[in-house]
Structure 1
Amino acid sequence: MKLNHFTDYSLRVLIYLNKKGNTASSSLDELSGELDILRNHLIKVVQFLSKEELVLTKRGKNGGIFISEKALNTGLGTLIHLLEQDDSPIINCHSKPCVFMPFNCRLKFFLDTAYQAFIDSMNQHRLSDLVFNNWESIFSGRQNKGNNA
């Protein structure tokens, strides 16, 4: 299983905002520079996260992007499933009809069971479990680097 770029970028944003806490805001430019993700990609990510109430956005002088309590209290598995935006994340036998479907193929069932086990396992963890001992060294000197995402 491979997570899509949208999920990857969203998780990076949530991890970063979690470290800053729900009282410190970030801007799109800050996120872009620190996470090395193009600003245009982040606009879509932040809009989705805001719509799902995983981040709070505030305009104006004291505005910015903040992590929400909902994001802090949601299991990583639930976050991943939401961010993947696909009810058949591993295989969809109906998108291109499969010749094995009429013959009770169990592959989709096996894959769905494994995916659910992955989600359940990831739900044992929260964003707060993603702690780095050397947080400052991760971002030292990042402001001058270009966005390669």
Structure 2
Amino acid sequence: MQLTRFTDLGLRILMHLATPAGASGATTTAVADQVAASPTHAAKVVTRLQNLGLVETRRGRAGGLTITAAGRTTSVGWIARQLEGPGEVINCEGERPCPLARGCRLRSLVRDAQEAFFTVLDPWTIDDLAVAPTQDVLLQIGVGAPPEPTTARSAGPS
């Protein structure tokens, strides 16, 4: 299972906005630079995150992006499901339909595997992800070399 670039970028933007550096209301262009994305692609992702209620945007001189309370506390699994959309992992009816489609069990198996993938993400929130060592790296992006990681977190959220 591989997330789309759109979903990956959405999660990285939320993680950046959840840090003290992102909390001050960065511009879409600045955030795009911080997460190594094109400003155009980042703008599309930000629009979707805004529609989901995960970020707020303000135009003008004092404008920028800020993460909402929902953006901090909503399940990463839910966010990934929303950004990925309802599409199938395997396209059996594409331009060249699969000859096994009528009696194949693989499609439902892969659909179940996709749901299991999202289920692993469900207990986590953006706030869970945007702590050390990730926060240390997010705060150093563009400043110089990233710091050495402090402690790794491998279990689910506490």
TM-score band, normalised by shorter chain: 0.7 to 0.9
> Is structure 2 residue 103 aligned with structure 1 residue 100?
no
Deviations 1:44-100 (A, max 9, x none): 111111122211101123321111222222211111111112331x11222342211
Q: Which residue of 2 aligns with 1:147?
A: none
Structure 1 pair 106–10 and aligned structure 2 pair: CA distance change class (3 A)? same
CA distance in 1 between partners of 2:143 and 2:17 (Å): 17
**Aligned-pair Cα RMSD in Å:** 2.4
Determine if contact 2:73/2:127 at 8 Å carries over to the other structure.
no
Q: How many residues are treated as equivalent by the alignment?
A: 142
| Structure with greater helix percent | 1
SS in structure 1 of the partner of residue 57 of structure 2? strand
1:32 matched to 2:68: no
TM-aligned CA deviation for residue 17 of structure 1: 0.6
Scaled by the length of structure 1, the TM-score of the pair is 0.82
Separation in 2 of the partners of 1:137 and 1:92? 37
CA distance 1:116–1:21, change in 2 (3 Å): farther
SS of match in other structure, 2:18: helix
Deviation at 1:137, TM superposition (A): 5.2
Question: Equivalents in 2 of 1:58, 1:12: separation in Å?
Answer: 20
CA–CA distance in 1 between the matches of 2:105 and 2:141?
51
Which structure ranks higher in relative contact order (CA pairs < 8 Å, sequence separation ≥ 6)? 1
Over residues 96-140 of structure 1, what are the superposed CA-to-partner deviations in whole Å (9 max), with x where a residue is unaligned? 4221122x2110111111111111111011111111237455544
Q: Corresponding residue for 1:113?
A: 112
Moved over 4 A (4+): 136-139
Identify unmatched segments of 5+ residues in structure 1. 145-149
- Shift of residue 22 of structure 1? 8.6
Residue matched to 1:133: 133
Structure 1 match to 2:41: 41
Q: Does structure 2 retain, via aligned residues, the 8 Å contact 1:22–1:68?
A: no
